[in-house]
């Protein structure tokens, strides 16, 4: 979930904004239904790799494992993200690196 507003309440009193929201009841739906709706609905907007990676529950586990080794793994967009370095990398860098490590097997 991202933030809709960046200014204080007074700004929006002078410049009102409207936001379209869709609410879907997830009762009696498959476990992955929410993630699929998010993925399919976001295809209409500009979506980055990080947006889809953030839906993958394994990403947080990998982030914690790497943190134990002193490596910061970024898989979600954030305003305070440090730039890539020897101890900081993003999912955008991880994808091609993993692809280079693959062998001919399936």
pLDDT digit of tens for each residue in the chain (106 aa)? 455 667 788 888 888 878 778 888 888 999 888 888 877 776 666 666 677 777 788 888 999 999 999 999 988 877 677 887 889 988 888 878 888 887 766 5
Answer positive or negative: Cα dihedral of 52, 54, 59, 65: positive
Could you give the residue ranges of the DSSP H alpha helices within 1-106?
Answer: 9-14, 33-41, 49-53, 58-68, 91-101
Encoded tokens for 39? 């993925």
Quote the pTM value. Answer: 0.49
Segments of 1-106 assigned E as strands: 72-74, 88-90
Give the residue extent of every domain in the chain: 9-101
Tokens 């793994």 sit at which residue?
Answer: 73
- According to the model, what pLDDT value does residue 1 have? 42
- According to the model, what pLDDT value does residue 47 have? 62
- According to the model, what pLDDT value does residue 46 have? 64
């Amino acid at each position: 979930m991202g933030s809709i507003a960046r200014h204080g309440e007074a700004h929006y009193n002078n410049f009102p904004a409207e936001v379209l929201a869709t609410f879907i009841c997830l009762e009696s739906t498959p476990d992955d239904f929410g993630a699929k709706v998010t993925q399919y609905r976001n295809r209409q907007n500009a979506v980055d790799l990080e947006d889809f990676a953030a839906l993958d529950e394994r990403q947080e586990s990998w982030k914690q494992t790497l943190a134990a080794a002193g490596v910061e793994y970024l898989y979600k967009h954030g305003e305070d993200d440090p730039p890539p370095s020897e101890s900081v990398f993003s999912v955008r860098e991880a994808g091609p690196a993993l692809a280079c490590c693959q062998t001919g097997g399936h």
